[in-house]
Structure 1
Amino acid sequence: MVCRLSNRLLNICIASLCRAHRLDKAETVIADSIRLGILPDAVTYNNLIDAYCQLVGVDAAYRVLDRMREAGISPDVVSYNSLMAGAAMEGLLPRLQGLFEEMCQKDIHPDVWSFNTLMHCFFKSGKLDEANKIFWYIMNNDLSPSPATFNIMINGLCKNDFADYALTLFWYLRSCGLVPEIITYNILIDGLCKAGRVKAAKRILKELGKSGNAPNAITYTTVMKCCFKNRQFRQGFEILSEMEHKGYTFDGYAYCTVIAALVKVGRKKEATHYMEQMMRNGIQLDIVSYNTLINLFCKEGNLEAVSKLLCEMEDRGLECDKYTHTILIHGLCRSGDIKRARQHLHSMNMSFDSKLVAYNCVVDGLGKDGQIDNAMDMFKSMERKDTFTYSSVVHNLCKARRYRCASKLLLSCVRNGLKILDSAQRAVLEGLSESGFPSDANKIRSIIRIARMSHY
């Protein structure tokens, strides 16, 4: 009895140390317990395997199996499940398959979690056929599929752009008597939303209400964000009203979703109201939340509030990411402070690809500020350009009445298969026509038409 109690205390201690990421201490406790005559059992080593997988790697965890065998303890299905989960976490599908085969060769029968892990890793590796085979093997071989089995399958289909199949599977499972959990509904709704299937997502939301499960804040926020993304603002705000009416507590993600949508439709007063409410409720902001608020204040031209938010981020140990920097540069350009925008751009410690949008903001800002020569100099110095780079330069050249230069750049883009925004093309054609060069405008129009036809 004393020995059994000692083992239990040892395992509780090892599990706690592993959760606290103190593997060194866990190893010391195991060594001390062996000296005291309290021998580790399979549970002790399985805790260690799981911790090594999460904190060090699957190779280090695998070496624990040798220690188990030396101690006369046979690894079990839990040992191998932990190793397989570690291989999946590192994206090592061949290693995971090797562990699965090794387990079978040693007459350790895989359980549903073994198959779940294998299926999940197949999905992550884009091997949909293999994942599908695993799922139906579970369903047809009395392996007692868990809710996680269905969640992995539906999530995997959605993540691999098969939301319609996920929806069909969901209805099939419902017809077989499956009672989905709220997380299953949330996964499917999120997948449908990301696939642009807003109506289908709303139907699932209604089905959720009929099922006896109450939608949670994540469910509503997912659909609401989808509505806003697809510019269905009225429906998005209706969902917001329903959330408020039912008394759901907003998290930072929900608040920022609403604030961003309100800013986009110009309802700044309401956006400010929700921002203040979020702060009153003591919501801890993450970098996405800060970026949303900084964007709001930049659009209002309230650079003092932006400065306070940046100081608050620094105090909390949060670093600006490329979106923060780009929002700041765009805000400075909008306010006409091109000099500071350029200074901030050059101070960004990032790769050029991460700076591309910021460069586009400054080039466009210089053009709109009448500094077209400086804009052209920066344009020529850029390592990489995209549709918006070329379009803004063409548009600003037209604004400076340099239609010939704009038309040459436009033709160069068209001939090289680069897309220029229609508004920039119109600016060139209308500018040439109004400047007394209608034949040049017709020639360019003809070249654009031929290029489009050859593209199709």
Structure 2
Amino acid sequence: MNDCRLLKMLIKLTNLIMRRTVPKKYDYLPYSTIQLQTTTAVEITEVCSLVSKGVGSLDDLELSLDNLNLPLASSLVRQVFESSCKSEAPTRRLLRFFSWSMENLESKLEDKDYNLAIQVFSERKDLKAVEILMSDLVKQARSLNSSTFSLVAETLVKHEKEDEALGIFKNLDKFNCPHDVITVTAIVNALCAKGHAKRAEGVFLHHKDKIAGSERLIYRSLIYGWSQQCNVKESRRILQEMKSAGFVPDIFCFNEFLRCLCERNLKSNPSVLLPEALNVLREMRSYGLGHSTTSYNIILSCLGKVRRVKESLQVLERMRKTGCFPDSVSYYLVARVLYLTGRFGKGNEIVNYVIEMGLVEDHKFFYNVIGILCGVERVNYAIEVFDKMKSKSLGGYGPVYDLLIPKLCRGGDFDKGRELWDEARSMGVCLSISSEVLDPLITKVFEPVRKEKKKVTLMESRLLRLELKERSRKSKKKK
């Protein structure tokens, strides 16, 4: 180990001497010409290869970088971090390369180099590397960009480290970063995205003077944050404060409040879900906001979760009457609740209507419908929908074959499974399932098992009634 460190020190010393010594054949050149020597593309590729694909330990990486004897500059560091190393190289090797650059660069790294490295590690979700570089940034008295802080705050909050994100925000002066509209909005958005609306509102109130003119964006984020917690009372309060501040809530604000209200009623009182949702739509209309398809789809989604078939059909009809044309998602949500409640005829009518009217733009609608039909054990209907999907020539058939073939074989219909298998192979569709699923000796067939109801004789039912009457008589006597 000591020999390795000694060798490393000798190599560094040799490289330092070589960098400071100009060969005799260049003695006649002006000093400025020597400084203009830059790293070639081949050398950059070699560095990237060492960082991303090199073998050995991190110490071996440093030794290899020392042996390259490159004309170092901050531009080299930026080029490495902006190359394929950004996504391919292991983050620990990238971090060691940056540390090596800090030690070996004669011209110090610039602020933008630190910010670029922190952004890369934030995107790669290496929180330890971010912590190390943030600490180095403070030690070197560097400046943190507002955009870099935004990315760091978002990454930390996503990983349930909101305390660390708030700690950095409160001490932005140490990072030479201002508390301005960008940083305040960034921390509020990051907190609200994960439902930490109360803490985000505290930041907003404390720094309200620094975000003049951008309050609308903050209010939108706060409504979203409280909606994440299904807190209708606080969401309504923010809406009222927004109006009082002179900002008219837009469709996004009302849709988030509507989602919050519907999900709360979904858990507590499904019977008032539709009436209260329609009240919100009327309120939107009073502000001159037209009903959006998204608003109705929020209602349909929640109604479907509690199997409200009649009300779902009413909402679909209401959409048509109010001039808010349903999209493929609206029809799918209604068809879904129909299938889940065993109303296959009406569900098929809606699916056929969507296909015939040309409302299907991609294969996602077909994926969802076929998945529901397979889930409720109606594979024959799923095959019919799949045939219509193929007639539209939308492509993306692989996942459907992967679903239908095993489903048919486990249901005992190996012939139809083999037919679909051959069809997929003839079309050149790449399947992820194995051909073993077509073998009856390997694939287990699941037969539906019905629970037999126990038959109760007339005498047993009479005895049961007499026993219940006797129990009720005794309980009355005790009272």
TM-score by length of 2: 0.54
State the match for 2:39 in structure 1: none
State the match for 2:383 in structure 1: 272
In structure 1, distance between residues paired with 2:471 and 2:229: 38
1:429, distance to aligned residue in structure 2 (A): 0.9
The correspondence for 1:428, drawn from 438, 455, 474, is 455
2:286 is the alignment partner of 1:172: no
State the match for 2:369 in structure 1: 257
2:447 is the alignment partner of 1:334: yes
Change (3 A) 1:36 1:255: same
What letter matches 2:242 in structure 1? I
Kept in 1: contact 2:312–2:334 (CA 8 A): yes
Q: Could you say what secondary structure the match of 1:165 adopts?
A: helix
1:233, distance to aligned residue in structure 2 (A): 2.7
In structure 1, distance between residues paired with 2:410 and 2:469: 40
Kept in 2: contact 1:193–1:226 (CA 8 A): yes
1:251, distance to aligned residue in structure 2 (A): 3.5
2:294 is the alignment partner of 1:188: no
Kept in 1: contact 2:338–2:347 (CA 8 A): yes
Give 1:227-376 correspondences, 5 Å limit: 227-247=338-358, 248-252=360-364, 254-258=366-370, 260-261=372-373, 264=376, 268-275=379-386, 281-283=395-397, 285=399, 294-295=406-407, 297-300=409-412, 302=414, 332=445, 334=447
Q: Deviations over 1:2-35 (max 9, x none)?
A: xxxx999998887676445466777899899999
Q: Deviations over 1:13-71 (max 9, x none)?
A: 87676445466777899899999998443233223222322246212222322552124
Q: For this pair of structures, how many residues does the alignment match?
A: 335
Q: Could you say what secondary structure the match of 1:227 adopts?
A: helix
Kept in 1: contact 2:138–2:174 (CA 8 A): no
Which stretch shifts more, 268-277 or 219-228? 268-277
2:161 is the alignment partner of 1:57: yes
State the match for 1:355 in structure 2: none
In structure 1, distance between residues paired with 2:446 and 2:467: 34
1:167, distance to aligned residue in structure 2 (A): 1.6
What letter matches 2:369 in structure 1? T
Question: Structure 1: where are the runs of 5+ without partners?
Answer: 1-5, 316-330, 336-364, 369-391, 396-423
1:445, distance to aligned residue in structure 2 (A): 4.7
In structure 1, distance between residues paired with 2:128 and 2:171: 16
- Provide the alpha-carbon RMSD of the alignment: 4.9
1:174, distance to aligned residue in structure 2 (A): 1.9
Change (3 A) 1:81 1:37: closer
Kept in 1: contact 2:411–2:446 (CA 8 A): no
Q: Could you say what secondary structure the match of 1:142 adopts?
A: coil
Q: Could you say what secondary structure the match of 2:455 adopts?
A: helix
State the match for 2:337 in structure 1: 226
Q: Could you say what secondary structure the match of 1:429 adopts?
A: coil
Q: Could you say what secondary structure the match of 2:367 adopts?
A: helix
In structure 2, distance between residues paired with 1:127 and 1:136: 15
Structure with more of its chain in helix, by fraction: 1
In structure 2, distance between residues paired with 1:150 and 1:450: 59
Q: Deviations over 1:313-367 (max 9, x none)?
A: 689xxxxxxxxxxxxxxx75527xxxxxxxxxxxxxxxxxxxxxxxxxxxxx6xx
What letter matches 1:146 in structure 2? D
Q: Could you say what secondary structure the match of 1:428 adopts?
A: coil
Kept in 1: contact 2:405–2:417 (CA 8 A): no
1:272, distance to aligned residue in structure 2 (A): 2.4
In structure 2, distance between residues paired with 1:60 and 1:284: 45
TM-score by length of 1: 0.57
2:237 is the alignment partner of 1:133: yes
Change (3 A) 1:91 1:294: farther
Question: Structure 2: where are the runs of 5+ without partners?
Answer: 1-109, 266-272, 422-430, 435-443
1:177, distance to aligned residue in structure 2 (A): 1.3
1:159, distance to aligned residue in structure 2 (A): 0.7
Change (3 A) 1:429 1:175: same
Q: Deviations over 1:112-131 (max 9, x none)?
A: 34333433443443432222
